[in-house]
Amino acid sequence: MNLIPRPTTGRGALLELVVIVALAIGLALLIQAFVVKPYQIPSPSMEPTLDVGQRVLVNRVVYHVGDPHIGDVVVFHPPAGAENGQECGVRQDAREACPEPTPEKSDTNFIKRIVAEPGDRLSVHNGHPVVNGLEAKEDFINPCRGGSGCNLPQTITIPPDHYFMMGDNRGASDDSRFWGPVPRDWIIGEAFFTYWPPDRVGTL
């Protein structure tokens, strides 16, 4: 096979450089839009797993080929009203987690951990999810030290195609306990790698 020689004139070389740069930028934008996208952690709700200002990469295609699972750290759109405080989609008993979200999604992006899946029965004890009667063993969280979301003994059932989210900083996380489970269609992707700062580089 004969290869076409590279341009030798200054104008040809410049044109080649412009084309290469344009293709590289286009490819980077396509990857970010459809495959992997970086996000910066805006709040302490996921401490100690993720600190404020830490940056993560999010796989945007993983849930097109498989289901989310308990333990996944995910970026998603919360229900409308969640970004302005605690707003449940239905009247909520003081002893239960919010069982249903508001019907519209917010444009804001949140990052939390999935703790319960569709059809699971859930309550909360000392900040830990109790799923189908079993309390989760979570040595990676910041303990819940008082507050309205630490103990919610009345059991709710997660609706079909919804996932219950909680931050790892259980005493300082505004999450599904207050504004309800999240529809699967609102999940953007799974956070799988942290790349900044350099001393926190690694998988999640």
Check if 37 is active-site.
no
Closest to 82 in 3D by CA, of 107, 64, 55, 60: 107
Give residue 35's identity as a one-letter amino acid code: V
Residue with tokens 């999450």: 175
Number of residues written out for the chain: 204
Q: Using CA of residue 42, residue 46, residue 48, residue 54, what is the dihedral sign?
A: negative
Check if 123 is active-site.
no
Q: What does the longest C-alpha to C-alpha distance in the chain come to?
A: 76
Give residue 189's identity as a one-letter amino acid code: G
Q: Which of 112, 123, 173, 176 is catalytic?
A: 112
Q: In angstroms, rounded to a whole number, what is the distance separating the alpha carbons of residues 78 and 114?
A: 13
Tally of CB atoms within 10 A around 35: 14
Give residue 116's identity as a one-letter amino acid code: A
Six-digit token string for 152:
């919610």
Q: Which of 37, 43, 45, 173 is catalytic?
A: 45
Is there a contact between 130 and 123 (Cβ–Cβ < 8 Å)?
Answer: yes
User: How do strand 73-76 and strand 187-196 relate by DSSP bridges?
Assistant: antiparallel
Catalytic residues: 45, 112
